[in-house]
Structure 1
Amino acid sequence: MSSGRIFAYCRVSTSEQTTDNQLLAIRSAGYEIQQNRVISETVSGSVPAIEREAFKTLVEHKLEAGDSLVVLKLDRLGRDNIDVQHTISMLIEKGVTPISLDLPIKDLGSSEGRLMLQMFSAFAEFERNRIRERTMEGQARARAEGKRVGRPEATATTDKVLRYKAQGLSQSKVAAATGFSLPTVKRHWNKGIEVS
């Protein structure tokens, strides 16, 4: 473990959740972290790490070479595997030791840690490809069975637009009357009319 300062980063997705359990688990693992070095935020996991306000401030203004950053789980460091890899590389380049408690090798900056991350990355890529293949197979099967694939058509929107159009309203007046945006009105303007 480095002799520098130790920070903890805790994240939850919704305001109903709390980061208290994450911090408790980190401290129970033997990391004594001063309260002013605990960074917590509520932000969706789909947001890239460096776009999260508290995390960005931590990386850009608080962490220095020799410091360690502890997280309970690897997914706290990014929205997906690629983002996690990018975040870890950025921390290591800064001289910060990233530590994730859910991994057998906690120090992600060590050569063993990097090797493990590369293996995780390969597995994640394999899983992404399998999901993509299954999705495409499912869509092909649905098409073969004559089912519609994709978003359902907004028939209620079309009906409303065409009703106002039949009353002689212009596209902009239909938009004002329905509350739809002008591009939405334009998209539905000629639907339902068969083109021969």
Structure 2
Amino acid sequence: MDKQGANMTTNTRIYLRASTDQQNASRAEASLLEFANLHKLNVVHTFIENESGASLERPELFKLIAASKQGDILLCESTDRLTRLSNEAWDTLKQSINEKGIRLVMLDLPTSHINLSNAGDDVTTAIMKAINSMIIDIMAAMARKDYMQRRERAAQGMAKARAEGKLTGRKVNTVTNDKVIKLLKAGTHSWSEIVDLCGVSRAQVAKLAKVVKAEA
């Protein structure tokens, strides 16, 4: 539950994310709290989740946005903790953030620290905020590029291993797997229904569900 500071008019909410359950999403929490304390920020809540940064299916992030008011701060470690989204999806997320008037502050992006101040929009401040917005967009694009390169390298590694006979076992039915993944992402069917529709085992559905969730 949010804690309202008696002498504060602006609240700060921390966002922490990791891609898989095997990763520690809370890793940067101490550093963010130290930063908040240094700048006398009123941290009212910390939102933590293990979800892919390449997906908009992030319940905790959207809870944070919904709880925020005009001028509140979203504090996170780095741009890639907030987004590895495609350009279109990033624009959608930015719109949600901007419509609430939320100020983005990234621990590792000094230009974003201008958003710690809610000072009037004089010319210099307006210019600096515009520059910061462009830098965040660039960092978001770089985070997406890194995500795509990782996926490409992983696919190349698998292909090489198969070619060298290092991967054995049953031949993967990629068409069926793609259908299962599509249904899992749609969220319109239960696992039991997917088993019946696709003719796969529940274990295979569980395995592919982990793949969907673990994208990073």
TM-score by length of 1: 0.54
Q: AA paired with 1:122?
A: A
Q: Distance in 1 between matches of 2:31 and 2:96?
A: 23
Closer, same or farther in 2 for the Cα pair 1:51/1:20, shift >3 Å?
A: closer
Structure 1 residue aligned with 2:59, among 52, 57, 73? 52
The total of aligned residue pairs comes to 149
Q: Distance in 2 between matches of 1:84 and 1:57?
A: 17
Structure 1 segment 128-147 matched on structure 2, within 5 A: 128-146=147-165
Structure 2 residue aligned with 1:71, among 62, 66, 76? 76
Runs of at least 5 residues in structure 1 that lack an aligned partner in the other structure: 155-180, 186-196
Closer, same or farther in 2 for the Cα pair 1:139/1:108, shift >3 Å?
A: farther
Question: How far is 1:30 from its partner?
Answer: 0.7
Structure 1 residue aligned with 2:11, among 6, 12, 16? 6
Contact 1:6 1:67 in 2 (8 A): yes
Residue of structure 2 equivalent to 1:193: none
Residue of structure 2 equivalent to 1:27: 36
Q: Distance in 1 between matches of 2:165 and 2:27?
A: 47
TM-score by length of 2: 0.50
Residue of structure 2 equivalent to 1:153: 170
SS of residue matched to 1:43: strand
Contact 2:25 2:50 in 1 (8 A): no
Question: How far is 1:103 from its partner?
Answer: 0.7
Higher relative contact order (CA 8 A, sep 6+): 2
Identity of aligned residues (%): 21
Within the alignment, does 1:127 sit opposite 2:146 as a pair?
yes
Residue of structure 2 equivalent to 1:158: none
What's the CA shift string for 1:31-61, capped at 9, x where partnerless? 331xxx52224420427566324x433322x
Contact 1:50 1:87 in 2 (8 A): no
Residue of structure 2 equivalent to 1:100: 106
> Which structure's CA Rg is the greater one?
1
Structure 1 residue aligned with 2:135, among 100, 105, 116? 116
